[in-house]
Amino acid sequence: MRRINPGSVNSYIRYGNVKIPKSIQSECPQCRITTEFMINANFQSSKNGIVTESSCPTCKKSTVFIIMTKDGHEEQGEHADTYIYDVQASKHLINHIESLPNIPKDLIRAYRSAINVHQTRENSATAVMSKRVIESILKHFLKEKSKGQPLSQQLEILPNHVDLAKPIQSLSQLLQAESSLNKMLELESEMDYETTSLLVDLLENIIEYLFVLPGKIEVTHNKITKKFN
Ligand SMILES: [Zn+2]
């Protein structure tokens, strides 16, 4: 399941007290091409939401959309939270990282292979591909310095070659006193729904970067350590 950003909704129709999407710009879960889905008016509704289908104009395959008409959306004029049923997106990072800038293609390929061989329980192949993923990450950042060095040594010096502070420092610019965003946060100017959605995405990103990811790495690290002790 993947949440549709309100910025990707091209038009809405009214449904009771809420507005539900009529046309959505999204990546097709089947053919992976970004296209416009027209939401079928012939939907199944329940107390909390709507389940409906739409065919991809490119591959013609049907995709399921889930539109939440209840939770916290009783206010007049609210836009209903919408999700696209995309099994792959919920399963793996891979579908998110492909759209990010600056990720080496060979890293994506190695990571995808690692996931595939893990799913088919090919343990040695998973070990080989996982090592390749780690090597590819290190090579990307360390370049020449990665040559002939053991992985442990490369990881040790990795933080000197990655600007880990940059994502946070760039936010400082965004929130400068005279910035549009800061004026909105100080209620000197009004924030529209699309901006509030981006703002909420940003909160999630900051929390993930500072708390979720370091915490996850620590938990997995501890599990691995425990397994070998
Ligand atoms: Zn398609």
C-alpha 29 to ligand 1 mean position (Å): 7
C-alpha 33 to ligand 1 mean position (Å): 6
Terminal CA-to-CA distance of the chain, rounded, Å?
38
C-alpha 53 to ligand 1 mean position (Å): 13
Same domain, 84 and 9: yes
90, 112, 146 — which closes off a domain?
90
Q: Which domain holds residue 112?
A: 92-162
C-alpha 65 to ligand 1 mean position (Å): 14
**H helical segments located in the chain:** 87-91, 94-97, 105-119, 123-142, 151-157, 166-174, 180-185, 193-207, 213-227
What number of helices (H) and strands (E) belong to the chain? 9, 9
Same domain, 20 and 47: yes
Q: What is the DSSP letter of 80?
A: P
162, 182, 206 — which closes off a domain?
162
Residue 49: burial class (beta carbons within 10 Å; 0-12, 13-18, 19+) = buried
Same domain, 21 and 84: yes
36, 63, 90 — which closes off a domain?
90
Q: How far apart are CA 62 and CA 49, in angstroms?
A: 19
Q: Residue-wise pLDDT tens for the chain (229 aa)? A: 888 888 789 999 988 878 899 999 998 998 888 899 999 777 778 888 889 999 999 999 999 999 988 755 444 457 888 999 987 765 567 667 777 778 888 898 999 899 889 888 899 999 999 999 999 999 999 999 989 999 999 999 999 999 999 999 999 989 999 999 999 999 999 988 888 888 988 998 899 899 999 999 999 999 999 999 8
Q: How far apart are CA 82 and CA 68, in angstroms?
A: 6
**Cβ pair 6, 196 in contact under 8 A:** no
Same domain, 135 and 149: yes
C-alpha 203 to ligand 1 mean position (Å): 31
Q: How far apart are CA 19 and CA 174, in angstroms?
A: 31
Same domain, 186 and 225: yes
Same domain, 81 and 30: yes
Torsion sign over Cα 97, 165, 199, 181:
negative
Same domain, 108 and 167: no
Q: How many domains does the chain have?
A: 3
Q: How far apart are CA 116 and CA 167, in angstroms?
A: 31
Same domain, 142 and 198: no
C-alpha closest to that of 115 among 133, 90, 141: 133
Same domain, 8 and 77: yes
C-alpha 35 to ligand 1 mean position (Å): 8
Burial letters 165-187, b for 16+ CB under 10 A, else e: eeeeeeeeeeeeeeeebeebeee
Same domain, 149 and 179: no
Same domain, 33 and 97: no
User: Is the model's pTM score more than 0.75?
Assistant: no
Structure tokens at 165: 């502070």
Same domain, 204 and 143: no
